[in-house]
Structure 1
Amino acid sequence: MMKKYAFIGLSALLFSCGGNSDNNNNADNGADASNNPPPAALAYTVVKVYPHDTSSYTQGLIWHNNTLYEGTGREGFSKVARLNIETGKPEQQEMIAQNEFGEGITILNGKIYQLTWQNHLVHVYDAATLKKVQEFNWPYDGWGITHDGTNLIISTGSNNLYFVNPADFKILKTVGVSDNFGPVMNLNELEMVNGFVYANKYLSNYILKINPETGKVEGRVDLQDIFQKSGKTYDAASIPDPEQDVLNGIAFNAATNTFYVTGKQWPALFEIKLN
């Protein structure tokens, strides 16, 4: 979830955001590209389009108890919110400190976990009330977060996925993610679906399907044409900063077997189904 405001060139894609990053501490597993076949190209169809608040710098999405939750970034604007999906507006929200940059969110055991980018803090809320109940320290940049039903899984902008005990935030194991070209950097927003971790790759139009045991990228969804596929005419003026306001946000609705995806300050939230 990099958040930057200055354009990041191609060479910078090899690094995570600044601060206490973990790029020099990559896990060995999953780093050898020689045994990795190319990821399968996953097709999709657009099921429905919903409005999305263009003031929301989306860092995380979660579908929970038939409700959409969103975590947003930017200092002074970061929040966690329960949304009305039909309007895109918050029904309830909780702002974080003005000097903090909010990141990904997930819900586990009735609690919302919200990362911060370089503040090294994790805020924990009661999912029913959005009342803050706990706070943890996190040594790395915070980008994306999901869970496997027991442990949290966190990305930091490198190619690592960290499995973390939600009770004390101790790191249990680290899995390095790679494809047929080698380590895959800039892993961002995360969502665990049917045993696979789906991840936005920052500054790209891709969602990656990752085997969390091996770290191998087994599939890839290219959403470059999602506006056109939805029947929407893409208007660059409708997105405040097209270079930075990239695809980010993945939520899965198990009842319909569909995903909700959007981008930072995008005017639309898309419900899609993988074919």
Structure 2
Amino acid sequence: MIKKYAWIGLSVLVFSCGNETEKGASDNENTTNTSNPAPAAMGYTVVKVFPHDTSSYTQGLIWHNNALYEGTGREGFSRLAKLNLESGKAEQQELIAKNEFGEGITILNNKIYQLTWQNHKVHVYDLATFKKIEEFTWDYEGWGITTDGKSLIISTGSSNLYFVDPATFKIIKTVGVTNNYGPVENLNELELVNGFVYANKYLTNYILKINPETGKVEAMLDLQDIFQKSGKTYDQGSIPDPDQDVLNGIAFNAATNTFYVTGKQWPALFEIKLN
């Protein structure tokens, strides 16, 4: 499955990552499953727009203790960084090996877990110092990662969410994600919020709200018009790589009940509130 370098069209004012219909994994599914209702549509408002470093190929985003952390990808450019929200610049960072493609990140028990895409490595850092303290092997591709406070929850680009023991990195259980059309693939960056997993669906403008117990997509947020809603416009000359810069990155600030969202090499990070 080609994930990181797929062609994708962009509109002039919106950094879109495709307009494909939200039908999950199979194009052959042309009838809905009445036992699994269609996801509800979520609305949103843009609260504030912050700068984002256009050299950052965002793969993971998390808000923790009033600080924003980001994991980025691309061989030779992958890093873990603690960001200054107002400037978008890194206050602290750790580069990973040049032959590794960094992926999603999460924080649990004062440790940062960072996936790699096809290197089958998971790097574990001390939260305060960014010193690498452990490394695990992951047999699948690494895409997104979050935590429920006990287990790590990992996506691999399939329709599955894997619940993993953080001490051994062994899979505890697997939950298949479905909507009213069937399995939903391309689950990417993850964030667990108030008992639900929010997931970027790669190559679309959608963020999915998933029940982690049943795997059902209960609601869907369409961010196709986020640049227009923010009142910001950008010409395509400001986009480093229009074919690859897609929506990715979800962080949640519980104190304000708002989300931070961005995309790969986007010039802006948006604080949004769900309606």
TM-score for the superposition, normalised by structure 1? 0.90
Alignment of 1:95-174 (within 5 A): 95-174=95-174
Q: Does residue 236 in structure 1 map to residue 236 in structure 2?
A: yes
Distance 1:225 1:158, change over 3 A: same
Q: Does residue 269 in structure 1 map to residue 269 in structure 2?
A: yes
Distance 1:77 1:3, change over 3 A: farther
Question: Percent of pairs identical after alignment?
Answer: 80
Contact 1:203 1:244 (8 Å CA) reproduced = no
Contact 1:105 1:114 (8 Å CA) reproduced = yes
Shift of 1:78: 0.3
- Structure 2 match to 1:260: 260
- Structure 1 match to 2:222: 222
Deviation by residue 1:49-102 (Cα, 9 ceiling, x = unmatched):
000000000000010010000000000000000000101010010000000000
Whole-angstrom distance in 2 between the partners of 1:238 and 1:201:
24
Whole-angstrom distance in 1 between the partners of 2:141 and 2:127:
24
Shift of 1:2: 6.6
- Structure 1 match to 2:200: 200
One-letter amino acid matched to 2:118 = Q
One-letter amino acid matched to 2:240 = P
Distance 1:222 1:36, change over 3 A: same
One-letter amino acid matched to 1:55 = S
Whole-angstrom distance in 2 between the partners of 1:249 and 1:144:
9
Whole-angstrom distance in 2 between the partners of 1:6 and 1:222:
20
User: Per the alignment, in what secondary structure is the counterpart of residue 228 of structure 2?
Assistant: helix
- The runs of 4+ residues in structure 1 deviating greater than 3 Å are none
Shift of 1:239: 1.6
State the Cα RMSD in Å.
Answer: 1.8
One-letter amino acid matched to 2:178 = S
Shift of 1:40: 0.5
Shift of 1:244: 1.7
Shift of 1:238: 1.6
- Structure 2 match to 1:87: 87
Whole-angstrom distance in 2 between the partners of 1:40 and 1:222:
11
Deviation by residue 1:120-153 (Cα, 9 ceiling, x = unmatched):
0000001111110000000000000000010000
One-letter amino acid matched to 2:45 = T
- Structure 2 match to 1:58: 58
User: Per the alignment, in what secondary structure is the counterpart of residue 228 of structure 1?
Assistant: helix
More displaced stretch, 1-10 vs 206-215: 1-10
Whole-angstrom distance in 1 between the partners of 2:164 and 2:124:
14
TM-score for the superposition, normalised by structure 2? 0.90
Shift of 1:14: 7.7
Whole-angstrom distance in 1 between the partners of 2:216 and 2:152:
19
One-letter amino acid matched to 1:86 = E
One-letter amino acid matched to 1:120 = H
Shift of 1:234: 3.4
Whole-angstrom distance in 2 between the partners of 1:260 and 1:238:
21
Whole-angstrom distance in 2 between the partners of 1:242 and 1:180:
32
Alignment of 1:175-214 (within 5 A): 175-214=175-214
User: Per the alignment, in what secondary structure is the counterpart of residue 237 of structure 1?
Assistant: helix
- Structure 2 match to 1:247: 247
Shift of 1:34: 4.0
Deviation by residue 1:211-257 (Cα, 9 ceiling, x = unmatched):
00000000000000000000001322222222321100000000000
- Structure 1 match to 2:12: none
Alignment of 1:64-75 (within 5 A): 64-75=64-75
Contact 1:179 1:217 (8 Å CA) reproduced = yes
Alignment of 1:17-56 (within 5 A): 33-56=33-56
Note the residue ranges of structure 2 that are not aligned, 5 or more in a row: 9-17, 26-31
